Amino acid sequence: MKIIRNEQHIRVRRFIAYTFSFAGMAVLLAGMGGLFLEPTSALVIWLPILALPLGYGLAQVGLYFSNRYVRTPRPDERLDESLQSVARDGRLYHFVLPAPHVLLTPAGLIALIPKFQIGDISVEGSKWKQTNVGFMRRMFGQEALGNPTAEAEYRVKQIAQFVSQNVEALREEELPIGAIIVFTSKAGGTLDLRESDIPAMHFTKLKGFWKQRQKDTPLPREKYEALRAALDKAAEEKEAVSE
């Protein structure tokens, strides 16, 4: 499998993660420091009131980017690890297209939706539920799960729009575009994903799932080549690195 990754995209957002995280911590500490000022100073009241929500907001922005671009392994690296030995004829594009993680196979395109959240997670159709997440982790350790189904559908639409605008050979045709929701954390919690409308699984199950997909009907060669050329052009424009 060939991996094409926009390293500049990652570097910039890693810098943002560190900057906002440290800024948030500094503002929170400044707010706490205000409690030790002279009681007659108006800052004793106003500094904590202003600093605490501002610091928390900055820290949450830092957390958002840290979960995607700082943690080791990153979600994109988990996808590499899971697919590299089974999707040998695939091309995996990270942060190159409107959808962050896209796998090109001879049978079409697949949007990969990595989710790093932990806890007890279940789904019925498109309705997701996350429980057993401690207060401190929910407030400072990870963002809410949201709706991975809605996110996957949105990413598929983004890919379809990109193809329509950039691949003339497929402009008037319906291209097979799939989606897979992949949970990338090894830490605690249970996953009950059997009732998901869209394929969803832990990253350790992705290899077995992929082997079952290998009988998909391939695209005509000329259409696959046109699709690949458009994706590679997008990668070249963003100076993405091939591995």
Where does a domain end: 69, 96, 119?
A: 69
- Based on the fold, state whether residues 56 and 82 are members of the same structural domain: no
For the chain, the domain total comes to 2
- Based on the fold, state whether residues 109 and 216 are members of the same structural domain: yes
- Based on the fold, state whether residues 46 and 105 are members of the same structural domain: no
3-state secondary structure of 61: helix
- Based on the fold, state whether residues 123 and 143 are members of the same structural domain: yes
- Based on the fold, state whether residues 154 and 55 are members of the same structural domain: no
Q: What is the mean pLDDT of residues 85-112?
A: 94
pLDDT per position as a tens digit, 103-161: 999 999 999 999 998 889 999 999 999 988 766 666 666 778 899 999 999 999 999 99
Q: Which pLDDT does position 230 carry in this prediction?
A: 96
3-state secondary structure of 91: strand
Instruction: Kindly indicate the confidence band of residue 17, based on its pLDDT and cuts at 50, 70 and 90.
Output: very high
- For the entire predicted model, the pTM comes to 0.89
The boundaries of the domain holding residue 35 are 5-69
Contact in structure between 27 and 3 (CB atoms under 8 Å): no
| 154 CB neighbour count, 10 Å cutoff | 16
Q: Give the C-alpha separation, 180 to 158, whole Å.
A: 15
- Based on the fold, state whether residues 80 and 48 are members of the same structural domain: no
- Based on the fold, state whether residues 59 and 156 are members of the same structural domain: no
Q: Which pLDDT does position 48 carry in this prediction?
A: 80
3-state secondary structure of 90: coil
Where does a domain end: 33, 54, 69?
A: 69
| Residues contacting 125, CB < 8 A, separation 6+ | 149, 195, 196, 197
- Based on the fold, state whether residues 219 and 153 are members of the same structural domain: yes
Q: Which tokens belong to 220?
A: 């005509």
| Residues contacting 171, CB < 8 A, separation 6+ | 164
Where does a domain end: 44, 69, 94?
A: 69
- Based on the fold, state whether residues 27 and 147 are members of the same structural domain: no
- Based on the fold, state whether residues 152 and 96 are members of the same structural domain: yes
- Based on the fold, state whether residues 61 and 85 are members of the same structural domain: no
